[in-house]
């Protein structure tokens, strides 16, 4: 049942007809507020400031939007993020930026995308921040890794990449990335992939997540590791295995989405975990929001409750 609901929601997240209509409904707009403080980056900064001041929870920003169709749109996206780095600095936030390469034109022109990445990674370094690259569906993995590796080779050290534990190829990719002293965000993976490409069962994906995290922590290669998950049980399992090797919880960061398991975020920060929340904003929230529903179909009930007065 869970699997059917998840697949239906993932299908709905990519459906153009629904994408054009559902966001117009007030109940959808109210429901998305749970995971998104507002549509502007100023809304995101306003939400981040008290988290940092009161709970030592730091932040990361992403403007929602995927798969551009005109390359000039990518120029505007890159300019926007350059301004986000400046805003982070002006507001005194410990904040970073996370971007999907398709937002920077990966479907249209790889060289132009790379040039945008260089601009963003350069501004990240200038403002003592970081530039994180999200991982999209499996058809993008090779191109995304190639851009990341090129950035690192060309000295853009404040650049990180996301890898997905559900992909069968990820252990080999991590082996390749480790010698770069890379910054890696490990997530379970959010897309609907075929069996020959991705692990299907929750148990297998979780086991791969723990094994990859522990491998990176024990590698001694100075990797900056972010555990991008709300699965507190897995984080504690990883912390336990790391502790057994004399590695403390300050060796990694727990990275969660704004509004998901907020109590756990605060509890973990109190208990000495380094916690960062990824705050999304922007008006193109529909596919992203429906993928969040797919992660936990029970959230659909919350969305439907917004239909009530
Ligand atoms: P899981 O889905 O097993 O959830 C564990 C527990 O957390 C659940 O039992 C539930 O209690 C709670 N929970 C999880 N999701 C919830 C929700 N939506 N609402 C309420 N409770 C929820 N993916 C990707 O493919 N590419 C990427 O670049 C990224 N980037 C990224 C960055 C960050 C910071 C995070 C946190 C996640 C991503 N993801 C991602 C998404 C990731 O792949 C995955 O789909 C989600 O994190 C959900 O999986 P969990 O690891 O949270 O575990």
- What pTM does this model have? 0.92
- Distance between Cα 90 and ligand 1 center (Å): 30
d(CA 272, CA 268): 6
d(CA 142, CA 162): 13
Is any ligand 1 atom within 6 A of the Cβ of residue 292?
Answer: yes
Which of 163, 230, 280, 292, when mutated, tests ligand 1's pocket best, judged by the most ligand atoms within 8 Å of its CB? 230
Is any ligand 1 atom within 6 A of the Cβ of residue 189?
Answer: yes
Which of 228, 252, 301, when mutated, tests ligand 1's pocket best, judged by the most ligand atoms within 8 Å of its CB? 228
Decide: residue 265, CB within 10 A, 0-12 exposed, 13-18 middle, 19+ buried.
buried
CA distances from 71 to 83, 84, 110, 111, 230 (A): 19, 21, 11, 11, 35
Q: In this structure, what token pair is assigned to residue 83?
A: 């301004």
210-236: per-residue pLDDT in tens? 999 999 999 988 899 999 999 999 999
Whats the size of the chain, residue-wise?
Answer: 309
Domains detected in the chain = 37-284 (3.20.20.220)
Predicted confidence band of residue 2 (pLDDT cuts 50, 70, 90): low
pLDDT for residue 297 is more than 80: no
The answer for residues whose C-beta is within 8 angstroms of residue 290's C-beta and 6 or more apart is: 9, 10, 12, 13
Is any ligand 1 atom within 6 A of the Cβ of residue 51?
Answer: no
Catalytic machinery residues? 134, 185
d(CA 165, CA 208): 6
126-182: per-residue pLDDT in tens? 999 999 999 999 999 999 999 999 999 999 999 999 999 999 999 999 999 999 877
Q: In this structure, what token pair is assigned to residue 29?
A: 């707009």
Lowest mean pLDDT among 14-28, 39-53, 106-120, 262-276: 14-28
Question: In this structure, which residue's CA is closest to atom 45 in ligand 1?
Answer: 190
pLDDT for residue 301 is more than 80: no
Q: Quick one: which of 69, 63, 129 has its CA closest to 100?
A: 63
Average pLDDT over residues 38-55: 95
pLDDT for residue 8 is more than 90: no
**pLDDT for res 239:** 97
Which segments of 91-162 does DSSP mark as H helices, in order?
110-126, 141-153
CB 139 within 8 A of CB 107: no
54-68: per-residue pLDDT in tens? 999 999 999 997 668
d(CA 109, CA 114): 9
């Amino acid at each position: 049942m869970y699997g059917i609901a998840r697949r239906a929601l993932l299908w709905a997240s990519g459906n153009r007809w629904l994408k054009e209509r559902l966001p117009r409904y007030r109940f959808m707009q109210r429901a998305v507020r749970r995971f998104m403080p507002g549509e502007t980056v100023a809304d995101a900064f306003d939400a981040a400031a008290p988290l940092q001041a009161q709970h030592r929870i730091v932040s990361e920003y992403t403007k929602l939007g995927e798969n551009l169709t005109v390359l000039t749109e990518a120029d505007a996206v890159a300019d926007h993020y350059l301004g986000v780095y400046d805003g982070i600095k002006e507001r005194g936030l410990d904040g970073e930026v996370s971007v999907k390469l398709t937002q920077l034109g990966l479907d249209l022109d790889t060289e132009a995308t790379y040039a945008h990445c260089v601009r963003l990674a350069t501004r990240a370094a200038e403002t003592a921040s970081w530039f994180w690259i999200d991982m999209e569906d499996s058809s993008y993995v090779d191109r995304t890794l190639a851009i990341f590796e090129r950035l690192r080779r060309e000295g853009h050290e404040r650049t990180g990449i996301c890898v997905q534990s559900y992909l069968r190829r990820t252990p080999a990719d991590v082996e390749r990335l480790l010698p770069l002293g890379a910054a890696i965000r490990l997530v379970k993976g959010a897309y609907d992939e075929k069996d020959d490409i991705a692990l299907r069962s929750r148990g297998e994906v979780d086991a791969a997540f723990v094994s990859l995290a522990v491998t990176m922590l024990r590698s001694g290669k100075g990797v900056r590791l972010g555990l991008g998950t709300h699965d507190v049980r897995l984080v504690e399992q990883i912390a336990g295995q790391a502790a057994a090797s004399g590695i403390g919880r300050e060796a990694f960061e727990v990275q969660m989405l704004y509004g998901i398991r907020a109590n756990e975020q605060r509890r973990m920060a109190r208990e000495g975990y380094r916690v960062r929340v990824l705050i999304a904003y922007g008006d193109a929230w529909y596919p992203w929001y429906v993928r969040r529903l797919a992660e936990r179909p029970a959230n659909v009930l919350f969305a439907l409750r917004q239909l009530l007065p």
